[in-house]
Amino acid sequence: MSESSITVLAISDLHYTGLAHQTAQLPQQRGELTKTLLKKVFLRLNHMGVHPDLTVLLGDLIEDGSDRHAELDMISLHGELTRSGIPVLAVPGNHDIPPSAFTSFFDCAPGLHEIRGYGFIVFDDAYAENHECERSAEALALTKKIAAEHPGLPLIALQHPPIYPAIDSHYPYRPVNAAEIIDSFEKAGVILSLSGHYHKGQKARTHEGVLYHTVPALCESPFRFSLIRITGTRVEIEEINLAMQTPNIIDVHCHTEHAYCGTTVDTAPCIALSQALGVSTLCFTEHAFQLYFEKKTAMGFKWQNTPSLAETVWATPERHRMAAYRRFAQKVRSPFTKIGLEVDLYNNGKLLLAPEDAEADWDILIGAIHFIQDFIPGKTGQKDAENLFLRDVEHLVGFDIDVLAHPFRFFSRNRLETPTRLYPEVAGLLADSGVAVEVNFHTHQPDPEFIRQCAEKGVKIAFASDAHDLAEAGEFWPHVNVLRQAGITPKTYAETLFSF
């Protein structure tokens, strides 16, 4: 008979402030970002190829449970958790709504919850007005009762306050009867105790046969959470940071609310989130074709072989929405934020830029191949598609662009094979023209072999979130990972990565 196993995602202390009153949080607490950070946790796990069996929330999901909008903020967080599709166990913290209401949100009553061969004991510890916490006699007895009624069931304790080790602080983080709790866990054979509340977190350590771990706060940099893998009674804990651990990372490609293809992307929170996660420079590079044309025309791509469509728009002072975007750029540009465009080809290899926009003071231009003139989806064969693609790459790098966007994504989007035979030639074209190559994971999986060949030829590598969803902003774990697969480590980033 095989051993039981489970993978647990543990998150604590979001201190979310959405619709609720924005209280005077400590400067290091970023409660206004934590709903997006929660979404980023699931995005990160998806990039890592990890699919947890259970999410445990260890309290203080919101900042002020007494606010009249507190329950709406709880609903908002609950919605994000629902989208993940992962079962949830949650314990209330001292900042949350009253325990009875909290329990109803997650259908998670105090006591035993059996999941995948493990017994999770949820504790609802009471807090006094002086912030002191004490576990009730009934809850202490419950641990013993559960162990007696379920012999051989591996037990895992979930609570908000840290139990072990002691914390040197005037603030009463631990329950006043922590010694009794420790004794109850030892006697019941609890294998793991998970807590939150202490924002710094505490590394896992074993005491009297019980492994104790305090999960750090998601609301404070570096925005950590824990991934816990249990096989039988063996426990492995990995702490994961959402914030960048590598300095001087430039995001060359982020979208705005001007994008037709954007979903939840929004300029202001993109800036705040990217700064908080350690990005050094953020570039907003909006689709030029989406600024020039109304949505149906833009997304139909008929403008590629009908130059009169562009000429008609360019004859108007506003050039549809381009003039408005340029005014927006002047308001947004800062030492941290740079402004540019993502530009395509039209009319047999010309760059889709009105003369006055081509002469504008853009910080960066990114060349992209979203659709190819003369390519007919479902009819053009692989070889002809490759020749057309190479033709357009040659055209693009002949213009004054800084970066080639999502190279070879065109093929996967059109259900064609990625032409690895073209890697050396495309890398050579980029090297000869001084154009950087994007590493971009938005609906795309970059090939480390192409990145390696580019780096060998001296092509600069550009990190691109290509954020269409707010949660994609500042997410560069997969970029660092694929560069490592290509043999490029952070030690060589200074001479390898694109910079201004």
Ranges of beta strands (E only) in 152-275 are: 155-158, 190-195, 202-207, 210-214, 224-231, 234-241, 250-254
- Single out the residue in 214, 241, 268 at which a domain terminates: 241
pLDDT tens string 61-104: 999 989 899 999 999 999 999 999 999 999 999 999 998 889 88
Q: Are residues 234 and 268 in the same domain?
A: no
Tokens, residue 290 = 């989406």
Q: What is the pLDDT of residue 483?
A: 97
Amino acid at 448: P
How large is the average pLDDT for residues 442-448?
Answer: 95
Q: Are residues 148 and 292 in the same domain?
A: no
Question: Are residues 47 and 184 located together in one domain of the fold?
Answer: yes
pLDDT of residue 151: 94
The number of distinct structural domains making up the chain is 2
Looking at the fold, whether 175 and 42 belong to one and the same domain comes out as: yes
Is the Cα dihedral 490, 477, 194, 153 positive or negative? Answer: negative
Q: Are residues 209 and 267 part of one domain?
A: no
Residue 329 has pLDDT above 90, yes or no: yes
For residue 440, which amino acid is it?
N
Owning domain of residue 87: 5-241
Burial track 376-391 (b if 16+ CB lie within 10 A, e otherwise): eeeebeeeebbebbeb
**Residues 230 and 255 reside in one and the same domain:** no
- Region 410-439: what's the mean pLDDT? 97
241, 276, 294 - which closes a domain = 241
Bridge partners (DSSP) of residue 365 are 341
The last residue of a domain, from among 241, 259, 277: 241
Check whether residue 178 and residue 37 sit in a common domain. yes
Please tell me whether residues 180 and 134 are part of one structural domain. Answer: yes
Are 236 and 318 contained in the same domain? no
Regarding whether 436 and 327 lie in a shared domain, the answer is yes
How many distinct helices (H) and strands (E) make up the chain? 17, 22
Assign 26 a pLDDT band (cuts: 50, 70, 90): confident
- pLDDT band for 27, please (50, 70, 90 cuts): confident
CA distance 443 to 436: 20
pLDDT of residue 247: 87
Q: Which amino acid is at 99?
A: P
At how many degrees (to 10) do helices 178-188 and 137-149 cross? 10
- Average pLDDT score, the chain: 95
| Per-residue pLDDT tens digits for 380-416 | 999 999 999 999 999 999 999 999 999 999 999 999 9
- Give the distance, in angstroms, between the CA of residue 25 and the centroid of all CA atoms in the same chain: 23
On whether both 278 and 227 belong to a single domain, the answer is: no
pLDDT of 1 strictly over 90: no
* Whether 331 and 200 share a structural domain: no
Structure tokens at 152: 């051989």
Task: Give the CATH number of the domain where residue 235 resides.
Answer: 3.60.21.10
